[in-house]
DNA sequence: CAGTGGTCTAGACCACTGG
DNA sequence: CAGTGGTCTAGACCACTGC
C-alpha cells in the first residue's frame, strides 16, 4: 500500500474508516473517487459544517484537501449541484442551497394558477390554525420512522392564493429536532416554512415524495376552503427528507383546483 | 486571430451556418463547444439519422468527426443522457433512447398501486373505444400549434389496472405526421403506444407537461370507469413534445384513485 | 482480444465577480 | 487585479462487453 514514489499516478482509494466492510457476499464494494468525495461533502453538509447560504471551499482548496485533481472534485460538486444541494455561481464560488432565496421560493409547491403566473397572483397568505405537541399515531410514526407514541409537532394551516383559501394542510414533525417550535414562532415568521426550519432548527429539506389522489371535501374541509361539501379536491400527501434520506416531515394537503392546477414535468 | 501554429490550443468555434446572427442588441450569442456539439447531435436525432434503439457513433469517432477532444463530446453526450435522449451502456456504446425497452415501460405514467408495485399488479389491459379522424377545435389546435379545423386523429380508450378500469383517456394527434393511424393499427399493437408512434410514424415523445385537477365523474365517465357518478377523479391533461419542443400529442385522462395514486418526486 | 464507455490527471485558457 | 467557476485538451489507465 505504500505508494511512496512521488511521480506515480495515485490509485489508492480514500476509504476513510468503515465503508465497504461486511458486504456479505463477495462484492468488493468499490466506488470511484469522485463518488467518495461526494460522500465526504455530503457528510460535511449533513453535520452542518457549512450552513445553507454559505460558500463552501473553492474547488482548488478541496482538491488540495482531498489530494485529488480539481476535475475530480468538480465532478463530485456537479452531481451535488444537479441534486440541488449546492449552487454554483461563476466568479463567486459554490454555495449551500437554501429555501430562503428569493425567486426560488415555494420550490416544492406544484400548484399554479390556471391563468397567468405566480407573480401576477401576488404573495400567498398563511393562516396557522393550530400548532401543538402530541404523540405519533402508528401511521405517522411509520412515515417518520419513529415509534408510535413518540413526541411529534402537529401543525394545521390554510394558504390563500389570489385571495381565496386554496390549500388546507396538516403537518407532522418529529418532536426532538423541532423542540421549541410554537404557534408564536410560526405566526411571527414571514418567509417560507422550510426556510424557518433551516434557520431555527438546522433542518434542511432536500427532496420529497408526493402521493396524489382525488377526494371529496369533508364538511370541515369544505368550510375551511369555502367550497360546498363534496367538492372534488386534490389530496396531496408529502413525505419530505433531509440529507441522508431521513424523513423529517409528513404533510397532508387538500388543494382546491377550481382556479389552480398541479403542474408536473415528465422527462 | 490566425492561430496557425499546429501546437496551439484551438479556440475556433464551429458555428456551422446561421446561428447567432440577428440577435438584435449587442448580445454576442456565444456558446461553449460542447453545447454546439449537443445541438448537432440533437439535429441528427431529430432528422432520424439514428433511430430509437440504434447505437450512435463512438465518442472517439464523434470527436474525430467534429475535430474536438473526446472529453468535449463526452460532456455533450452526458447532457443528452441526462435528458433521457440517449442511454449509455458501458462496454457497448451509446444508444438512442426508446419507449420500446422492457423495464422502462410506461415511463410517463405516474399512477401506481397503493399497495405493492406495478409488477405485482400484472400488465395493463387496453381497450380502444374509438379512433377517428376529425378537425381540430380551437382549443386542441392551440395546444398542438395547428390551425382550428386542421386534421387531427382522436383516440379514446380505457386502461384497466389490476382488473379494474382505472384510466379513461382521450388523445389528439396532429393529422399529418400520423397519417394512416387507424383503430386496427391500435388494437393490433401489443406494446406501449409511444413505442408504436416511434416505429410506425417516426415520432418520439421526449418530454411532457401535465396539469392535474380534481373533478367529479360525469355520468358517461362514471359508467366507463365503473364508479358512481360524481366520484372524485384526477383529471390529468398532458401535452407531449418531440425533439425540438414541438407539441405532438394532447391527452386528457381521468384516473380513478381508489386503489392507485399519482406519484411524484420533488427534487 | 479489441472496442466501448468510465475515471483521473495536469495544465491551459476563458468568463465572471468583486475589491 | 486576484480568485472563482467554466471550458477544453491530451493522454493514461480501468471496467465492461462480446467475439
Give the model's confidence band at B52: pLDDT under 50 very low, under 70 low, under 90 confident, else very high: very high
Fold matches, B33-96 and B111-262: no
- % of chain A surpassing 70 pLDDT: 89
Higher pLDDT, B205 or A19: B205
pLDDT tens digits for range B70-103: 999 999 999 999 999 999 999 999 999 999 887 7
Outline where chain B has alpha helix (H): 33-46, 59-66, 70-82, 118-121, 138-144, 183-188, 193-201, 219-225
Question: What does A84-107 look like in DSSP terms, one character per residue?
Answer: TSEEEETTTEEEE--TT-TTS-ST
Cα–Cα distances in Å, from B245 out to B144, B206, B208, B236? 11, 8, 9, 20
Is the C-alpha dihedral spanning A198, A203, A209, A212 positive or negative? negative
pLDDT, average across residues B233-248: 96
Residue A73 CA to D18 C1' — how many Å?
Answer: 34
Residue A53 CA to C10 C1' — how many Å?
Answer: 32
Of A207, A209, A261, the CB nearest to B212: A261
Q: Which residue in chain A is spatially nearest to B75 when comparing CA positions?
A: A75
Of A110, A215, A267, the CB nearest to B207: A267
pLDDT tens digits for range B54-66: 999 999 999 999 9
pLDDT tens digits for range A97-152: 999 987 777 899 999 999 999 888 988 999 999 999 999 999 999 999 999 999 99
Q: What is the residue extent of each domain of chain A? A: 33-96, 111-262
pLDDT tens digits for range A14-64: 543 333 333 344 445 578 999 999 999 999 999 999 999 999 999 999 999
pLDDT, average across residues B34-54: 95
The answer to whether A251 and A170 have CB atoms below 8 angstroms apart is yes
Higher pLDDT, A8 or B27: B27
Q: What's residue A103's pLDDT?
A: 73
Task: Please check whether the domain covering A111-262 is classified as CATH 1.20.58.1610.
Answer: no
Q: What's residue A29's pLDDT?
A: 57
pLDDT, average across residues B162-180: 97
The answer to whether A237 and A215 have CB atoms below 8 angstroms apart is no
Task: Please check whether the domain covering A33-96 is classified as CATH 3.40.50.1980.
Answer: no
Backbone dihedral region for residue A77 (phi beyond 0: left; psi -120 to 50: alpha; all else: beta): alpha
* φ, ψ dihedrals at A121, nearest 5°: -75, -20
- Look at B215 and A232 and tell me if their CB atoms are within 8 Å: yes
Cα–Cα distances in Å, from A175 out to A32, A135, A148, A248, B103? 38, 9, 12, 10, 41
pLDDT, average across residues B17-27: 40
| Chain A interface, Cβ < 8 Å to B | 82-84, 107-108, 110, 207-216, 230, 232-234, 238, 255, 257, 261-267
Mean pLDDT of chain B: 89
- % of chain B surpassing 90 pLDDT: 81
The answer to whether A141 and A135 have CB atoms below 8 angstroms apart is no
Residue nearest to nucleotide C16 (CA to C1'): A91
Amino acid at each position: 500500500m505504500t505508494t511512496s514514489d512521488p511521480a506515480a499516478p495515485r490509485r489508492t482509494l480514500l476509504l476513510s474508516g468503515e465503508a465497504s466492510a461486511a458486504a456479505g457476499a463477495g462484492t468488493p464494494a468499490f466506488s470511484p473517487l469522485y463518488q467518495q468525495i461526494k460522500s465526504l461533502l455530503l457528510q460535511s453538509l449533513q453535520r452542518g459544517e457549512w450552513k445553507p447560504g454559505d460558500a463552501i471551499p473553492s474547488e482548488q482548496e478541496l482538491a488540495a484537501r482531498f489530494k485529488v485533481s480539481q476535475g475530480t472534485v468538480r465532478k463530485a460538486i456537479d452531481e451535488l449541484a444537479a441534486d440541488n444541494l449546492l449552487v454554483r455561481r461563476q466568479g463567486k464560488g459554490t454555495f449551500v442551497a437554501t429555501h430562503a432565496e428569493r425567486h426560488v421560493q415555494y420550490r416544492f409547491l406544484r400548484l399554479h394558477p390556471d391563468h397567468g403566473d405566480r407573480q401576477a397572483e401576488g404573495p400567498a397568505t398563511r393562516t396557522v390554525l393550530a400548532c401543538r405537541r402530541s404523540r405519533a399515531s402508528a401511521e405517522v410514526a411509520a412515515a417518520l420512522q419513529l415509534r408510535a407514541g413518540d413526541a411529534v409537532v402537529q401543525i394545521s394551516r390554510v394558504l390563500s392564493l389570489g385571495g381565496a383559501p386554496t390549500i388546507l394542510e396538516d403537518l407532522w414533525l418529529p418532536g426532538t429536532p423541532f423542540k421549541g417550535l410554537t404557534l408564536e414562532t410560526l405566526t411571527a415568521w414571514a418567509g417560507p416554512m422550510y426556510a424557518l426550519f433551516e434557520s431555527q432548527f438546522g433542518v434542511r429539506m432536500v427532496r420529497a415524495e408526493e402521493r396524489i389522489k382525488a377526494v371529496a371535501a369533508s364538511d370541515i374541509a369544505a368550510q375551511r376552503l369555502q367550497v360546498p361539501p363534496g367538492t372534488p379536491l386534490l389530496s396531496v400527501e408529502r413525505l419530505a427528507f433531509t440529507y441522508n434520506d431521513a424523513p423529517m416531515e409528513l404533510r397532508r394537503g387538500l388543494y382546491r383546483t377550481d382556479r389552480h392546477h398541479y403542474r408536473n414535468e415528465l422527462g
